[in-house]
Amino acid sequence: MGFAANVLVGVATLSIKYPIGGVYVDVGYTEDGVKFEYSVDKTQIRVEEKTYPLTQVINTEDLKVTANLAEATLHNLFVAIAGASQVGNIITIGNGVDKEMSVKIVGINPAGFARTVEIPCAVASGTVGLSWRKNEKTVIPVTFDALESPAGNLCTITDAVA
């Protein structure tokens, strides 16, 4: 039997640290929340004498975070565009340099305390498009792909206990 208290309902905050050694900056409101996706590709190890796999090995791991940023700030636009550089209030696109940043998501765990997902090293990817339309808000779609951190992992997920 399940426990209703373990069903998570609610939003999370998304923050970006750029450059990696800097401080986290909250991206503000989102449209449709923040999505965390981990995927893995495995190979099953089989032998002729068995009808089932003996074990599995991981070939590749991918982790990405996606969101639609409802606050169309220059900073949010800058972190969303992979090949962008920023000096003051000017963003330049097309320099071909991918910028590494850290990504943090903070939501609530089943105990009602913070659940923090921290990705020490990530890059923006995907298509970023903006539209200005009558009576509609402009959102910045963003995807962050995790890279191997200096510690050798993709991310940590920590539940606060108090």
pLDDT digits (tens, 9 = 90+) for 101-131: 999 999 999 999 999 999 999 999 989 999 9
Please report, for the chain, how many H helices and E strands are present, in that order: 1, 10
Per-residue pLDDT of 69-99, as tens digits, reads 999 999 999 999 999 999 999 999 987 889 9
Q: State the pTM of this model.
A: 0.92
Q: Which CATH class is domain 10-159?
A: mainly beta
d(C-alpha 161, C-alpha 64), whole Å: 26
Question: What does the domain layout of the chain look like in residue ranges?
Answer: 10-159
Asked if residue 127 lies in contact with residue 82, where contact means CB atoms within 8 angstroms, the answer is no
Residue at 152: amino acid letter: G
